[in-house]
């Protein structure tokens, strides 16, 4: 039987090792070495090298688990009971342009449900960790979502889609509403960190669409274990394959959902 309480610090160590590699790689990074998945979705040798490091270490920890990874450097065996979901470098565009806001995101799923999540925010040297029924932590100290009750006192976070633009008009209308009825909306460029910051109370809520499982899997565990709610834009308890997400404390979540429902069909 897998002991998540034992596994979590081991996975956190893997994430920090990958982060140390990325921190060093960014100092000497050549922007001309970037490849384009699309106009605004970038990938680099750093993504792939970090992913290979992570896969090697996790295979040693849990040989029976499969992998779902952003860069596809390992066979994607998603039918296993246990599945690692990995984004080796969430915030590649920030990384490429020399911005210090990017992260390593590692989640473990059991039967398609996230049960362990690690987000390592490299620039701040902050490691967020959580596992099912074990609470959420930042560098070993307990964290929780905010107790903010209304939008007017809230700070929200969001991200912009890379591929899926069919909801863009409604999304812009949603942003316009929040601009006028909250303390602000932040876009920092890494979904994993958005979720981690929601879990520790820096943001009151976060919403985005056009996402992939590796963007959100670890953060879902963080927010839920920190006492928050997570759903998709349809207010369904988010399946890992959903491309939209709302994460917030229990008061702000329904307010964000209602606003999105009014503007995005």
Q: Mean per-residue pLDDT for 217-238?
A: 96
Q: Is the pLDDT of residue 259 over 70?
A: yes
Query: Do 160 and 99 belong to one domain?
Result: no
Residue 265: predicted pLDDT: 73
Query: Do 189 and 113 belong to one domain?
Result: no
Query: Do 160 and 199 belong to one domain?
Result: yes
Which long-range contacts link 125-130 to residues 24+ away (Cβ below 8 Å)?
125/19, 126/196, 127/12, 127/15, 127/16, 128/196, 128/199, 128/200, 128/222, 129/8, 129/9, 129/11, 129/12, 129/222, 130/8, 130/199, 130/221, 130/222, 130/224, 130/225, 130/226
- In terms of pLDDT, which residue wins out, 20 or 240? 20
In this structure, what CATH number is given to the domain that contains residue 202?
3.40.190.80
Residue 163: predicted pLDDT: 76
Query: Do 162 and 235 belong to one domain?
Result: yes
Query: Do 183 and 250 belong to one domain?
Result: yes
Structure tokens at 177: 């509403």
At 85-135, the pLDDT tens digits run: 999 999 999 999 999 999 999 999 999 999 999 999 999 999 999 999 999
Q: Is the pLDDT of residue 43 over 70?
A: no
Secondary structure of 7-27 in the HEC alphabet? Answer: HHHHHHHHHHHHHHHHHHHHH
The domain tally of the chain equals 2
What global pTM score does this model have? 0.94
Of 142, 173, 193, which residue constitutes the final position of a domain?
A: 142
Of 89, 119, 142, which residue constitutes the final position of a domain?
A: 142
At 169-218, the pLDDT tens digits run: 999 999 999 999 999 999 999 999 999 999 999 999 999 999 999 999 99
Query: Do 111 and 214 belong to one domain?
Result: no
Residue 36: predicted pLDDT: 65
Query: Do 156 and 138 belong to one domain?
Result: no
- The region, left, alpha or beta by phi > 0 then psi within -120 to 50, assigned to residue 139 is left
For the chain, the average pLDDT equals 93
Query: Do 106 and 35 belong to one domain?
Result: yes
Query: Do 135 and 158 belong to one domain?
Result: no
Query: Do 167 and 135 belong to one domain?
Result: no
In this structure, what CATH number is given to the domain that contains residue 104?
3.30.540.10
Of 112, 142, 172, which residue constitutes the final position of a domain?
A: 142
Query: Do 204 and 93 belong to one domain?
Result: no
Residues 6 or more apart from 207 whose CB is under 8 A from it? 156, 157, 158, 174, 233, 244, 245, 246, 247, 256, 260
In percent, the amount of the chain with pLDDT more than 90 equals: 80
Query: Do 102 and 81 belong to one domain?
Result: yes
Q: Which domain holds residue 184?
A: 151-263
């Amino acid at each position: 039987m897998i002991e998540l309480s034992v596994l979590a610090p081991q996975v956190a160590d893997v994430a920090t090792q990958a982060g140390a590699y990325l921190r060093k790689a960014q100092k000497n990074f050549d922007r001309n070495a970037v490849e384009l998945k699309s106009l605004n979705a970038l990938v680099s040798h750093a993504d792939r090298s970090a992913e290979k490091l992570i896969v090697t270490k996790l295979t040693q920890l849990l040989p029976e688990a499969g992998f779902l990874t952003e860069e596809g450097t390992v066979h994607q065996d998603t039918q296993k009971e246990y599945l690692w979901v990995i984004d080796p470098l969430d915030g590649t565009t920030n990384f490429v342009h020399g911005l210090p806001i990017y992260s390593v995101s590692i989640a473990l799923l059991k039967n398609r449900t996230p049960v362990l999540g690690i987000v390592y925010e490299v620039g701040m040297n902050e490691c967020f960790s959580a596992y099912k029924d074990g609470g959420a932590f930042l560098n070993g100290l307990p964290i929780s979502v905010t107790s903010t009750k209304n939008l007017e006192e809230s700070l929200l976070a969001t991200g912009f889609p890379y591929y899926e633009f069919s909801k863009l008009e409604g999304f812009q209308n949603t942003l316009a509403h929040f601009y006028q009825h909250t303390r602000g909306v932040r876009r920092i460029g890494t979904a994993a960190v958005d979720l981690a910051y929601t879990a520790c109370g820096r943001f009151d809520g976060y919403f985005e669409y056009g996402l992939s499982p590796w963007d959100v899997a670890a953060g879902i565990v963080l927010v839920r274990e920190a006492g928050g709610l997570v759903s998709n834009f349809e207010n369904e308890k988010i399946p890992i394959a959903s491309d939209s997400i709302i994460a917030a404390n229990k008061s702000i979540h329904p307010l964000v959902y209602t606003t999105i429902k009014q503007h995005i069909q």
